[in-house]
Amino acid sequence: MYSSEIIGSGMFVPPQVITNHDLEKIMETSHDWIVQRSGIEERRWVDVETATSDLAQKACAFAIENAGIDKSEIDCILVATMSPDHDFPGVGCFLQPKLGLTKIPTIDIRQQCTGFLYAMSIANSFIRSGEYKTILLVGAEIHSKGLDKTSRGRDVSVLFGDGAGAIIMRRTENNDPKKDSFFISSHLFTEGAGAKDLWAPAPGSAMGNERITHENMNNNLHYAFMNGKKVFANAVRRMCEALTLALDKNNFKLEEIDLFLFHQANLRINEMIAQEMKIPESKVFNTIQKYGNTTAGTIPIGMAEAVKTGKLKKGMLVASAAFGSGYSWGSSIYRW
């Protein structure tokens, strides 16, 4: 059977930097509160013209270049996002022509902060089955256009940023986990009982006769609501569980992992995971300080930035884990 290998990565964040001090000017918050509770110092916000597919297109172009392939080799596009250009069709449909591609299938994945782990797992399965050979995966979000930027929404709005990361996964016959570069494992979970701990109720088919009503919007039901403490506690617990499972199933010792690329929801979550699992801080690569939480973008942005800064090199064994709205969570192990 085939396996799949990550052969290139790229990222793009919009140039506009929004610091915590900038947020202090528009809502009741403080730089110190945001840094102490989340580790975030700044994030990026797009300008008015930019759509999610535009960020995705730029990250994809970098990934294609980094992989050294011709774009005509791509035979499928997977987009992980919860902030699409339009209600429908999916971002993939707008991204494909922006990349100068036609006809190849595009699939949008809606698993929020775990979206990119789901995308990698789906791509790996397509490649292993022989259905596709070279898949472009992108995680992209524009949160800044959907945040409640008043004091009422401050618990959520200070955490999120805009950005995109992309990788190319390609068929290989590599299969020795101890030395070969390939996507080794994926473990995915969903627990829908926690769905309303982090969600946006509207627009939606469960919202009455009309998906969008003035009443629902006046009640701010299109903004995210979060039970922060509960989500935090579950994130630490579930990401630790998923990582332990991935190590056990593959007979890897924690010390064998060269780099941990976690979802970036809160620096304190990643610090607690490292503490609980006895992972040296130097092996955890975080970008949240600069970009905030870009949801489906965090893991591929981390990959591209770790490559650029020399922290992630060919042959290294990497473990990723994520947790978010759904609840959905998971882990994967791959040799870069």
Q: Which residues sit at the interface with ligand UT7, rule CB under 6 A? A: 29-30, 33, 37-38, 113, 154-155, 158, 228-229, 231-232, 235, 265-266, 269, 293, 324
CB of 27 to ligand UT7, least distance (A): 7
CB-wise, 235 or 243, nearer to ligand UT7? 235
CB-wise, 13 or 231, nearer to ligand UT7? 231
CB of 165 to ligand UT7, least distance (A): 15
d(CA 228, CA 138): 27
* Three-state DSSP class for residue 94: helix
CB of 321 to ligand UT7, least distance (A): 12
CA 193 distance to own-chain centroid: 22
Structural tokens at position 127: 């490649």
Q: By C-alpha distance, which of 284, 40, 304 is closest to 168?
A: 304
Catalytic residue of the set 60, 76, 187, 263: 263
CB of 12 to ligand UT7, least distance (A): 20
Nearest residue relative to ligand UT7 (C-beta): 228
CB-wise, 104 or 198, nearer to ligand UT7? 198
CB-wise, 45 or 232, nearer to ligand UT7? 232
Catalytic residue of the set 113, 124, 187, 240: 113
Q: Name residue, tokens 């060269």.
A: 258
Catalytic residue of the set 66, 234, 270, 293: 293
d(CA 326, CA 316): 31
d(CA 91, CA 107): 9
Peptide bond between residue 84 and the one before it cis (omega within 30 degrees of 0): no
Decide if 76 is catalytic. no
CB-wise, 30 or 175, nearer to ligand UT7? 30
CB of 250 to ligand UT7, least distance (A): 26
Strands 106-109, 259-262: pairing kind: unpaired
CB-wise, 4 or 298, nearer to ligand UT7? 298
Structural tokens at position 239: 């990401």
d(CA 90, CA 80): 10
- Whole-number Cα distances in Å, 200 to 184, 203, 207: 34, 8, 11
301 CB burial (10 A radius; 0-12, 13-18, 19+): buried
Decide if 113 is catalytic. yes
Decide if 263 is catalytic. yes
CB 198 within 8 A of CB 225: yes
* Three-state DSSP class for residue 65: helix
In one letter, which amino acid is 274?
A: A
CB of 243 to ligand UT7, least distance (A): 16
Enzyme catalytic residues: 113, 263, 293
